[in-house]
Chain A
């Protein structure tokens, strides 16, 4: 177990471990990714409750959407002859009642916000570059707002005697 003879010549090769900074002779690497540190440059924390609100919204809207969507599917596709009955007259008949107007409006808003928020988290998780993130989110928000506004407009200004 004695390696005394080699120790003597190795001491020159081994740098001082304590006393001096280990990071002085940092790896002269051609390429090392910067450590993902929280530095002064990283954006300051928001400390808002938005993420919590978003998380909670996903759970609550999900529960409500289960009822709304399954009800919607049953009415549209199962009861009274199924898909074949759906036509302009059928939709006009349903939207004559404020109950179904509210139902569809709620479903539109909740589904769009639920899906939009879900995609927002997916983009946050998967888009690595800030610019990619910006563009994808811009596209997402535009599409969400457009669909919500268009749908709301149709529900509110629906005219059964359009012809």
Chain B
């Protein structure tokens, strides 16, 4: 808008894009209290901004003790998965306008993992499950002097599961994982799938055996929470079903 400078202030105050949004944040500080509680913050924010911007604004301008993880802030690193309005999402990929800012926006830590402070959870059980499925290329024989070639079709087979950013949105949306935390969880299975169906990899059998465990793929109840939660749009439940099918068809 080409508004003359003098009128600019008035014009902006009249047509301000800012709206007042209430952030209802689940606060937990073990040094103060062993109970988590909700705290409301009212901030003025452009609805086209993201929830992460709101959290930044609160942390930088209202309450510096608010604690949350974020690294790249652009949906790649997977640090800022949190439960926003009851659904697991990345704070950096959720626009305020998309989640009904007329009501308070609830922000909680992801479920099923121990909360350490405010929105930060202990990710260790999650990464332990990830490590358990051997998420690395396993080959035998001499290393080729050049790259390991693969046809486009072979690459396409596991393309969907290469997109995982390990944000834990899927695993912490899984009701089976909430129960006792022993289930491998969707994220670990997705990353196993990525190598099981990789034509260059040779440890598919070992990974399948790991996921054939009591707490492996058979605990999946196909509730599709993981597919709904995935910020990368991976068809997580489908990947789990493909691992199940591979487990059955290799035997019979």
Contact = CB atoms under 8 A, between A and B. Distances in A.
Contacts of B132: 38
A37 B30 contact: no
19 contacts: A27-B30, A28-B31, A29-B30, A31-B30, A32-B30, A32-B114, A32-B116, A34-B114, A35-B122, A35-B125, A38-B128, A38-B129, A46-B214, A47-B212, A51-B213, A51-B214, A55-B218, A126-B179, A128-B180
A146 to B, nearest CB: 27
B248 A56 contact: yes
Contacts of A30: 30, 34
A32 to B, nearest CB: 6
Contacts of A29: 30-31, 34
Interface of A: 27-38, 42, 45-47, 49-52, 54-56, 121, 124-126, 128
Contacts of B129: 38
A30 B179 CA distance: 24
- The interface residues of chain A, by DSSP majority, are classed as loop
B48 interface: no
Interface residues of B, number: 32
Given A38-B129, A45-B214, A52-B248, 16 more contacts: A27-B31, A28-B31, A30-B30, A31-B30, A32-B30, A32-B114, A34-B114, A35-B124, A37-B125, A38-B125, A46-B213, A54-B218, A56-B248, A124-B219, A125-B221, A126-B179
A157 B182 CA distance: 46
B31 A31 contact: no
Contact of A36 (B31, B114, B219): B114
Contacts of A47: 209, 212-213
Contacts of B247: 52
B215 interface: yes
B176 to A, nearest CB: 6
B57 interface: no
Contacts of B116: 27, 32
A52 B212 contact: yes
